[in-house]
Amino acid sequence: MAVPPQRVEIAIPNLQVYPYAFLMFAVVGFVFLWRRGRDSQLARWIGIWLVATSSLAVIFTVDYFLLSVSMWIIKQAYSTDGATVVWAYRMLFEVLVWLMPALAIAAVYGVLQGIVWGLVCALPAPVQPGGSRLYRWRCWRNLGLCGLTNAIVVLLPPLAHGSATTYMGIYLGHGHLISSLFGVALGWWMRRKTRAHSEVPNLGPWPAAAFVAVNFALALLFYAYNLPPGGLTNAAIGGSIASTSAFVAIALYLMIKRDFLHVRSIRSLVTLFLIVALPILFRLIENRIHPFLGRTPFFSQHGSELVVVLVAIWIFPKIHHYLEHFVRYFADRKLHEIEQTVDKALDAVIEAPNSEEKQKHIANLFTRLQVNEYAFYYYRGDGKFTCDAAGRNRPESASLELSTELRKFLGRHHAFLDLERSPFEWMSFFHMFDLKNLQRKTGCRYLLPVSVGDKLVALLFLPAGDSPAESDDPSLTASFKNLGVGVISRTGS
The β-bridge relationship of strands 417-418 and 446-452 is antiparallel
Q: What's the average model confidence in pLDDT over 458-485?
A: 76
What pLDDT, in 10s, does the model give residues 324-360?
A: 878 877 777 776 777 778 888 878 877 777 777 877 8
The pLDDT of residue 472: 65
pLDDT at 416 over 80: yes
- Host H or E run for residue 236: helix 231-252
What pLDDT, in 10s, does the model give residues 428-454?
A: 888 889 998 998 888 888 898 998 878
C-beta of residue 4 within 8 angstroms of C-beta of residue 65: no
pLDDT at 65 over 70: no
Q: What's the average model confidence in pLDDT over 416-423?
A: 83
- Host H or E run for residue 24: helix 18-36
Q: What's the average model confidence in pLDDT over 1-23?
A: 56
**pTM of the model as a whole:** 0.72
Q: From CA 371, how far away is CA 294, in angstroms rounded?
A: 60
Tell me the CA end-to-end span of the chain in Å, nearest whole number. 69
Q: What's the average model confidence in pLDDT over 194-207?
A: 72
Burial 358-371 (b: 16+ CB within 10 A, else e): bbebbeebbeebeb
pLDDT band at 493 (very low <50, low <70, confident <90, very high): very low
The pLDDT of residue 247: 92
The pLDDT of residue 101: 77
What pLDDT, in 10s, does the model give residues 89-104?
A: 667 666 766 777 788 8
Q: Which of 467, 484, 472, 469 is nearest to 376 (CA)?
A: 484
- pLDDT > 90 in the chain, percent: 9
What pLDDT, in 10s, does the model give residues 103-138?
A: 888 888 889 999 998 888 866 555 554 556 777 777
What pLDDT, in 10s, does the model give residues 385-415?
A: 988 878 777 777 788 999 999 999 999 888 8
What pLDDT, in 10s, does the model give residues 239-251?
A: 888 998 899 899 9
CA geometry: angle at 145 spanning 143 and 147, to 5°? 70
CA geometry: angle at 420 spanning 414 and 424, to 5°? 80
Q: From CA 311, how far away is CA 289, in angstroms rounded?
A: 9
Other beta carbons within 10 angstroms of residue 266's beta carbon come to 21
Give me the chain's average pLDDT, please.
78
- Residues whose CB falls within 8 Å of the CB of residue 167, separated by 6 or more in sequence, listed in order: 161, 226
- Angstrom CA distances, 68 to 72, 87, 91, 210, 277, stand at 6, 15, 14, 36, 28
CA geometry: angle at 329 spanning 324 and 331, to 5°? 95
pLDDT band at 489 (very low <50, low <70, confident <90, very high): low
Please report the DSSP string for 268-297 in residue order: HHHHHHHHHHHHHHHHHHHHHHHHHHHTST
